Amino acid sequence: MNEKHYQAQNLVIGGGIAGIVTALELLEGGQSVILIDSDKRERFGGLALWAFGGMALIDTPEQRRMGVKDSPALALQDWIRFGELEADEQWPLAWARCYAEESRTLVYDWLKSLGLKFMPAVNLVERGESIKGNTLARYHILWGTGRVLVETLIRRLLDHAQREKLLVLHQHRAIDIVCRDGVTTGCHGIDEHSDQPFSVQADNTIVATGGINGTTENVKKNWPARWPGPPQRMLNGACPLSDGAIHRSIAGNNGQLSHLDDMWNYAAGIPHPQPHFEGHGLSLIPCKTSLWLSPDGRPLGPAPMVTGFDTRQLCKQVAEYPYTWQVLNWKIAKKELAISGAEHNPRILNHQFARFLKDLMLGNSRLVKQMLMESPDFIAADNWQELAEKMNRLSQEERIDGSRLRALAEDYDRALADPSRHGDYPQIKRIQEIRRWRTDKLRTCNLQSIGEKKAGPLIAIRLHFISRKSLGGLQTDLQGRVLSQQGEVMPGLYAVGEAAGFGGGGASGKRSLEGTFLSGCILTARKTAAAICHR
Ligand SMILES: Cc1cc2nc3c(=O)[nH]c(=O)nc-3n(C[C@H](O)[C@H](O)[C@H](O)COP(=O)(O)OP(=O)(O)OC[C@H]3O[C@@H](n4cnc5c(N)ncnc54)[C@H](O)[C@@H]3O)c2cc1C
């Protein structure tokens, strides 16, 4: 079949949030753009379509209204320490600084100018364990989730006054970038709808293909060296189309990849009851007041298994098991269970503030009922023996002993009730610490015992490791230009968003302060487009 040819000043590869923002900003600058995306038109927007919409933002009016005194200097300190960024990591550090200093204007103010709103309460997440994380609350939630963000930006892109300078090609997958005499001149690809090959010639090629964690094979291949080996069964919390093919093509042309073994995965996944693709998982925000156990029913550790402190550490501690269990009860689940993403947060997605408040105050029975109905990995039982039997039936292993499980829960419940024994379970101190922040107090039970009869039924949730974001990627300078393995600019080639490790090939280092991804995509896209327009 004949190859179809296209030509423009700019080629953007990838129609996620990073690609869309780049294309929009290039149009604003009067430049012509071809945006190709391998996914279908209805999935234009990439992962941001499913994202919750949490963003780490610094020194905002929402923070000030809650009495939080943040500053770029403080945020940068938290960021570098938590990410364990080394002093010689020039570009990741430069992007971390850029995020701290410029995200207020380039992300927060910009989104507000587009008519988007944040919820009034700011959240304190990733407090850190042995390494301190966020020292104050800076996690803002976009009212309407990632979905409203994507819809708003797509509308602006497609209704743009310079629309005739834009061509969007869905189901067009780039296979290789084209490089002549050291200069990138576009890409070759395939139109997956008609199977026709195509090529695009452009002065600037901007890679916005997302991370590499869209395939669990990539996650396993880049697994952190000093961790226990990857679990055999791993759920996919990203999108299989982000498979790293363009990363590899660029590395084959001498481009520099870095921090690929730094990832932002999650410890508490369940198979998606209505999967969008094979192996698709949902990431639960694990209930804090629960016992988190190994397949044999033993408490995990050594660090307390409580979310909100160090996601990386939680991942490391579950990684050595094929699956883990959380054991809790109805009352705890109703207050504490949440699922990351737009799909399972309809109150925020659909702007239902009164119902959101009602769920917050009275608990989210709807979600717990839905999960018990839809997911075989959620189990309810009236007593410990029955719960253990159901757990064993699900795992098809006889590893949970009902009386041992009951004894463990009873001991934990006694320790909860006896302040002199709080030290026996470091998790208790964590729960108390969490409840000191106003918004978390509303979402976290006050030392609720697990065995209490009227808080039942008992619930067990079987959890699997779930992949999500790549913290590493193509190394870029502050203009978004991709750098070679010798640290030189590769003419004509740029990278933005998760493909660039949110800037510099790994701006977050080993850990994110959380909610730095959507905002990192917007920041890198806007900076890069501005650099191209002002050249
Ligand atoms: C359920 C969920 C919840 C999340 N919640 C949050 C949150 O609250 N806060 C936060 O900051 N982040 C969150 N994230 C992460 C965030 O959504 C992503 O990091 C971000 O959207 C990545 O955007 P991107 O444009 O870089 O890449 P992507 O969204 O992955 O888009 C890349 C696009 O490139 C296309 N593509 C890939 N390869 C090719 C190719 N060879 N040729 C052509 N096209 C290609 C893909 O089809 C895709 O459309 C969440 C993610 C998920 C899945």
Candidates 14, 111, 142, 92; CA nearest to 502 is 92
Q: Which residues pair with 8 in a beta bridge?
A: 202
Does the C-beta of 341 come closer than 6 Å to ligand 1?
yes
Helix (H) or strand (E) holding 89: none
SS3 state of residue 469: strand
* pLDDT digit string, tens, across residues 309-327: 999 999 999 999 999 999 9
The secondary structure of 323-352 as a DSSP string is -EEEEEEHHHHHHH-EESSSTT-HHHHTT-
Instruction: Report the phi/psi class of residue 182: left, alpha or beta, with left for phi > 0 and alpha for psi in -120 to 50.
Output: left
Top mutation candidate among 47, 151, 157, 177 for ligand 1, by most atoms within 8 Å of CB: 47
Please state the separation of Cα 469 from the chain's center in Å. Answer: 5
What does pTM read for this prediction? 0.97
pLDDT for 360 equals: 87
Ligand 1 centre and the CA of 256: distance in Å?
21
Using the atom order of ligand 1, give the atom closest to the CA of residue 246. 41
Helix 17-28 vs helix 145-158: angle between axes, to the nearest 10 degrees?
Answer: 30
Ligand 1 centre and the CA of 48: distance in Å?
6
Identify each DSSP E strand in 14-72 by its residue range.
Answer: 33-36, 54-56
Q: Which residues of the chain have pLDDT under 70?
A: none
Does the C-beta of 241 come closer than 6 Å to ligand 1?
yes
Does the C-beta of 150 come closer than 6 Å to ligand 1?
no
Ligand 1 centre and the CA of 20: distance in Å?
11
| Distances from the Cα of 509 to the Cα of 52, 101, 315, 320, 503, angstroms | 22, 18, 16, 23, 11
Residues 6+ apart with CB under 8 A from 5: 198, 199, 200, 201
Ligand 1 centre and the CA of 524: distance in Å?
14
* pLDDT digit string, tens, across residues 121-148: 999 999 999 999 999 999 999 999 999 9
pLDDT for 431 equals: 95
Q: At 26, which amino acid appears?
A: L
pLDDT for 1 equals: 74
d(CA 74, CA 151): 33
pLDDT for 232 equals: 87
